[in-house]
Structure 1
């Protein structure tokens, strides 16, 4: 085996069998050109779209584009594509096959992809036998993406709308209780507001100073003063709770309106940078590459065969 890969021996053998190599190469070119043709390999056309994410929340350490790819590559989008384009017929997969979805996902993932570019756009690529269907599938993925993200956002906003409405209702019930307590205090003790303490005290002290302690007005003031002394602190507590509850309701109402506004919005969640269109030239197979690779492989294999056949004939 010392001279099996000897350069001189190999060159001599190639020159000796040069016509054999030419014949092998010619046959390889002809056969690879035939078998890479549309009669044996169905041509496929590629449609491409590029989109930027917009109006989405940052939910984790992932970038917005990475979150977009999570949705674009989700099974939910794939199921919608299966149904929208009857892909089981396109891919010739029997729905009754026990491994139907395994085959469908494998075929879909071979023909459809979504990846991030260096400029942070999401690039969608679709390969299909029909250039129009490839373009339509690419466009539908964008549509289904917007619908999916809208569903996610609406579900969250609806949850917040229901939650804030529940809190508003609860606070309104509390407000009615405090209102009833204040009405009772006002009716029973004549205390309109705790803010009247200084005014009542000043009037009462003025009446005492002028010697009108026996007048009816002074007695009324004295009664209110006594009521404030007994129930003033309780009235202050209830009044503060009443005001705090009104403020809480106002804040919750603003929050409710904001989430309701978001819930009722109909917006998109992507900016299309490059729209898909039906290709006018097939992208697969690349026949020249197949022919070149096959020819080189055939010639190299022939070289190994001739080396083995001629082994021992050269010193």
Structure 2
């Protein structure tokens, strides 16, 4: 077993020794080409922003609701759900469009706008140079590569600024619809209560304002007037009792309904105030842990790595190429010998 392994190693060494010239030439040429390519590739600078999502708790509920019943503290960091929401917003077409327009990326990336696939090429370049990823601590890292270190930092910081405006816009569309619904309900309730109060005022004008107490007092006074022989007073009290009998139940029903609707109006008013806060608030949806800084040192290309990787790859490729060519040559020789032997036998 050991002798076989030694034989194979010896064979490889002999093979490499015999083929060292083409292998070295190929490797050397690859090294030269990789050096030239690495020098031609434009240098790019890297800038990164690290943000944490804020809690998406309703601002109105957090600020207007009793703290003991408030669902979440708006000052808390968000959790996985909030991180996923921010990731979706960061990948939105609106943020891409704003950044592309502000920095004229079609021109900056040297893409021909008249080209057949210019937009596709632009979006691919954008995705290659601008990326978002979640960290293990549920934060989000926004990374931008650019040939201009100032632009790289500016784009990274602007994305975080635009993030809030896009997020608020998405929420505001829904919040304004909710505000319109609750506002209509609130004003309708106020009108209805006004109508109830008008009806109650009319009944009070007729002398009906506390059915049970009035009925008790009028009945007692009417009885005393009859007992004392004061017929005029008795008739006056009887007229009042007749009015109570006619309108008393209506007054009670309206009074109870009015009380119920006042409670409903109070609830609607609270919801209306909350809806207004939610519709017009513009609180940030993230905490900036590390804003982007202008990089002083290029991030890529790593020229030595390109050269080393290309040279090693070329060296391995050259060995395999020599092996293939050597095997092909052996097969060819064998075929020629077989053909010659066949001819002699014939």
Within 2, Cα distance between the matches of 1:310 and 1:100? 47
Contact 1:127 1:134 in 2 (8 A): yes
* More displaced 10-residue stretch of structure 1: 210-219 or 239-248: 210-219
State the partner residue of 2:30: 28
CA 243–279 in structure 1, closer or farther in 2 if over 3 Å, else same: same
Within 1, Cα distance between the matches of 2:326 and 2:178? 83
Contact 1:204 1:218 in 2 (8 A): no
Matches within 5 A, 1:1-315: 7-18=9-20, 20-37=22-39, 40-57=40-57, 63-188=81-206, 190-194=207-211, 197-205=212-220, 207-208=222-223, 211-212=227-228, 214-311=230-327, 312=330
* More displaced 10-residue stretch of structure 1: 197-206 or 69-78: 197-206
Within 2, Cα distance between the matches of 1:216 and 1:154? 70
* More displaced 10-residue stretch of structure 1: 179-188 or 5-14: 5-14
CA 132–213 in structure 1, closer or farther in 2 if over 3 Å, else same: farther
* More displaced 10-residue stretch of structure 1: 279-288 or 200-209: 200-209
Shift of 1:227: 2.5
Contact 2:218 2:240 in 1 (8 A): no
Q: Deviations over 1:29-51 (max 9, x none)?
A: 232122211xx211111111110
* TM score, norm. by length of structure 2: 0.79
Q: Deviations over 1:107-151 (max 9, x none)?
A: 111111111111000110111110110000000100110111122
CA 218–100 in structure 1, closer or farther in 2 if over 3 Å, else same: farther
- Any unmatched runs of 5+ in structure 1? none
* More displaced 10-residue stretch of structure 1: 40-49 or 25-34: 25-34
Within 2, Cα distance between the matches of 1:124 and 1:213? 97
Shift of 1:20: 4.6
Contact 1:111 1:128 in 2 (8 A): yes
CA 213–71 in structure 1, closer or farther in 2 if over 3 Å, else same: farther
Shift of 1:105: 1.3
Contact 1:47 1:126 in 2 (8 A): yes
Contact 2:87 2:132 in 1 (8 A): yes
Contact 1:212 1:218 in 2 (8 A): no
Within 2, Cα distance between the matches of 1:150 and 1:106? 27
Within 2, Cα distance between the matches of 1:213 and 1:302? 136
| Number of residue pairs matched by the alignment | 303
Within 1, Cα distance between the matches of 2:104 and 2:271? 44
Contact 2:215 2:244 in 1 (8 A): no
CA 89–132 in structure 1, closer or farther in 2 if over 3 Å, else same: same
SS in 2 for 1:36: helix
SS in 2 for 1:47: strand
Q: Deviations over 1:186-205 (max 9, x none)?
A: 234x21133xx134324413
Within 1, Cα distance between the matches of 2:280 and 2:326? 82
CA 33–98 in structure 1, closer or farther in 2 if over 3 Å, else same: closer
Q: Deviations over 1:255-278 (max 9, x none)?
A: 222222333433211100111011
More helix by share: 2
RMSD (CA atoms): 2.6
